[in-house]
Amino acid sequence: MRFNQWNSVIRWEFKHPTPLLRSREFLWNEGHTVFATAEEAEAEREVILKIWMDVLKEYLAMPGVLGTKTETEKFAGAVASYSVEHLLPGGKAIQGPDFHYDGQNFAKAFEIAFIDKDEKKAYAYQNTFAITTRELGAMVMMHSDDKGLVIPPNVSRIQVVIVPIYREQNKKEVLEYAERINQKLKGNFRTFVDDNDAYSPGWKFNNWELRGVPVRIEIGSKEIAANKVVAARRDTLEKTSLELGDLDVTIKRLLNSINENLYKKAKTFLESNTHKPKTY
C-alpha cells in the first residue's frame, strides 16, 4: 500500500521561526508505504532517494551529500534514516529530503497486521519519506547574490521576461515586436512582457534581477533593425545577441546552461569545503 500526501503542518514546539527554512506553518509532501516483506520495503529506498536527487539536480540545481543518519540523529522509531545534506554559502549545513525505513517498529506498536500467503498473522514493514518547502529556503540561500534572488529555470514562475525599450515615436513598433517574440516563445516557456509605462527600462532590469528571473530579453530599435534580441542571463549577468529565427532553440539551450551552471557552482563549493578528518 502506498499513500502520498500534500498538506500544511502547524508546529508549536519551537521558538524563533525562520521564513522558508523553519516556519510555524509549512507545506510538505510525505509518503507512507506498507509492505509484506522487508525486502520490498528496503528496495523502495533506492527508488525514492533517486527521485529526491533528480528533483534537486534538475529542478532546484542543488547538490548534496546523500547518506545514512547516525543512530542518534535518525528518525525516532526508524530502523535506519537516510537524507540529503546541503552545504550553504555561509558554511552551515541543512538537511534536505529524507527516507526512513521503519521495519516493523510501528506495525508492532500499533497492531498494523495482515494475513500472509501462509494464512498466518504477520506484521507489516513500513517506510516514510518527505520533502518540504524548506528546500525553497535552501535554494534561495544557495544560489542568490547581492542583486537578489537567482531562481533555477525549471521552478521559476517566469522563465523569460521581455522588456521593450521605446520612446513615444517608436512605441507601437517595439511593442509589436515584443509581442511577436512572446508569441514565438510562450508555447514552450513561461514568459511575461513588461510593458508598464510607469517605470524606466533600467528600473525594470533591476526589478527582474531582484526577482531572480532566469532570462531577460531586451528589445529596442537596434534589435528590430537587425531582427535580433539581447538576452541577459541572471546567473552570470552576461548579455548575448540572439537571432530571432531560432530563438526558441537558443533560449532552451540558455535555460539548460543556467541550470547546469548553478548546479556546478554549488557542487564545486560543496566539494571544496568537504574534508576528511584524520585525527581529533
Judged against a pLDDT cut of 90, whether residue 18 lies above it is answered with no
Q: Which pLDDT belongs to residue 13?
A: 84
- Is 209 found in the same domain as 127? no
Q: Which of 87, 221, 94, 217 is nearest to 162 (CA)?
A: 217
Q: Which pLDDT belongs to residue 203?
A: 97
The answer to whether residue 279 is domain-embedded is no
Query: Across all residues in the chain, what is the average pLDDT?
Result: 95
- Is 110 found in the same domain as 226? no
Q: Which pLDDT belongs to residue 175?
A: 97
Burial (CB < 10 A; 0-12, 13-18, 19+), residue 29, is middle
At 238, is the pLDDT very low, low, confident or very high (cuts 50, 70, 90)? very high
The answer to whether residue 264 is domain-embedded is yes
Tell me how far apart the alpha carbons of residues 33 and 216 are, in angstroms, rounded to a whole number. Answer: 44
- Cα 60 to the center of its chain, rounded Å: 3
- Is 26 found in the same domain as 118? yes
**Domain end among 124, 143, 162:** 143
The answer to whether residue 98 is domain-embedded is yes
Choose between 177 and 22: higher pLDDT: 177
Judged against a pLDDT cut of 90, whether residue 83 lies above it is answered with yes
Q: Taking residues 49-66, report their average pLDDT.
A: 97
Judged against a pLDDT cut of 90, whether residue 20 lies above it is answered with no
**Domain end among 78, 112, 143:** 143
Q: Which pLDDT belongs to residue 28?
A: 86
- Is 185 found in the same domain as 249? yes
The answer to whether residue 222 is domain-embedded is yes
Choose between 27 and 237: higher pLDDT: 237
Q: Taking residues 68-90, report their average pLDDT.
A: 96
The answer to whether residue 277 is domain-embedded is no
Question: Dihedrals φ, ψ of 264, to 5°?
Answer: -65, -45
Question: Could you please report the per-residue DSSP string of the chain?
Answer: -EEEEEEEEE--S-SS-BTTTB-SEEEEEEEEEEESSHHHHHHHHHHHHHHHHHHHHHTS----EEEEPPTTTSPTT-SEEEEEEEE-TTS-EEEEEEEEEEETHHHHHHT-EEE-TTS-EEE-EEEEEEEETHHHHHHHHHH-BTTB----GGG-S-SEEEEE---GGGHHHHHHHHHHHHHHHTTTS-EEE---TTS-HHHHHHHHHHHT-SEEEEE-HHHHHHTEEEEEETTT--EEEEESTTHHHHHHHHHHHHHHHHHHHHHHHHHHT-------
The answer to whether residue 148 is domain-embedded is no
Q: Taking residues 192-214, report their average pLDDT.
A: 97
- Is 223 found in the same domain as 125? no
Q: Report yes or no: 95 and 83 within 8 Å, Cβ to Cβ.
A: yes
- Is 133 found in the same domain as 176? no
The residue type found at 67 is G
Q: Taking residues 155-183, report their average pLDDT.
A: 96
- Is 157 found in the same domain as 125? no
**Domain end among 143, 163, 183:** 143
The least confident of 1-5, 26-30, 67-71, 99-103 is 26-30
- Is 174 found in the same domain as 59? no
Judged against a pLDDT cut of 90, whether residue 15 lies above it is answered with no
- Is 158 found in the same domain as 31? no
Span 126-153, pLDDT tens digits: 999 999 889 999 999 999 999 999 999 9
The answer to whether residue 117 is domain-embedded is yes
Q: Taking residues 56-81, report their average pLDDT.
A: 96
CA 86 vs CA 83, 90, 154, 155, 269: distances in Å: 10, 12, 19, 19, 11
Residue 15: which domain range?
2-143
Domain of residue 256, CATH code: 3.40.50.800
Judged against a pLDDT cut of 90, whether residue 33 lies above it is answered with yes
C-alpha cell at 158: 517566469
Q: Which pLDDT belongs to residue 69?
A: 96
The answer to whether residue 273 is domain-embedded is no
Judged against a pLDDT cut of 90, whether residue 77 lies above it is answered with yes
- Is 15 found in the same domain as 134? yes
